[in-house]
Copies of this chain bind each other. A is one copy, B any other.
Amino acid sequence: MNDERRGNGVPVQTVAAPRSLPAAPLPTVRPSLALLTDRYELTMLQAALADGTAHRHCVFEVFTRRLPPGRRYGVLAGTGRVLEALSAFRFGDAELSYLAGTGVVDDRTLDFLRGYRFTGTVTGYAEGETFFPGSPVLQVEGTFAEAVLLETLVLSILNHDSAVASAASRMTSAAVGRPCLEMGSRRAHEQAAVAAARAAVVAGFAGTSNLEAGFRYGLATIGTAAHAFTLLHDDEEAAFAAQVASAGTGTTLLVDTYDVRRGVERAVAAAGTSLGSVRLDSGDLGTLAVEVRAQLDALGAHGTKIVVSSDLDEYAIAGLAAVPVDSYGVGTSVVTGSGAPTCGMVYKLVARAGADGVLEPVAKASTLKTSQGGRKAAARRLDAEGRAVQEVVLSGPDEAVTAWEPHGAVAGDGELRPLHVPLVTDGAVDSRWVGAYGVENAVLRHQASRSELPRGARRLSHGDPAIPTVEVALAEPVAP
Contacts and interface: CB of A to CB of B under 8 A. Distances in A.
Interface string A429-449: 011101111101100110010
A321 interface: no
A456 interface: no
A315 interface: no
Interface in A86-106: 88, 94-95, 98-99, 102, 104, 106
B10 A211 contact: no
Copies of this chain, tallied across the complex: 2
A245 interface: yes
A421 interface: yes
A368 B43 contact: no
A8 B377 contact: yes
B332 A342 contact: yes
A228 interface: yes
Interface string A20-51: 11111111111101011111111110111011
A211 B39 contact: yes
Interface in A360-381: 362-369, 377, 379
Interface stretch (A257-265, A289-297, A382-390, A459-467): A257-265
Contacts of A302: none
Interface string A106-140: 10000000000000010100100000000000000
Nearest to A20: B218
16 contacts: A8-B418, A12-B126, A26-B435, A28-B85, A28-B88, A29-B31, A37-B211, A40-B224, A43-B225, A53-B242, A99-B211, A156-B189, A189-B192, A256-B364, A256-B366, A257-B366
B341 A47 contact: no
A1 interface: yes
Contacts of A232: 48, 53, 56, 58, 144, 349, 352, 362
A357 interface: no
The interface centre, meaning the residue of A19, A23, A347 with most chain B CB atoms within 10 A of its CB, is A23
A216 interface: yes
Contacts of A269: none
Contacts of A225: 40, 43-44, 47
A467 B335 CA distance: 31
Given A189-B195, A422-B2, A445-B12, A21 B246 contact: no
Given A23-B435, A366-B256, A35 B341 contact: no
A273 interface: no
A75 interface: no
Contact of A183 (B10, B33, B38): B38
A7 B126 CA distance: 10
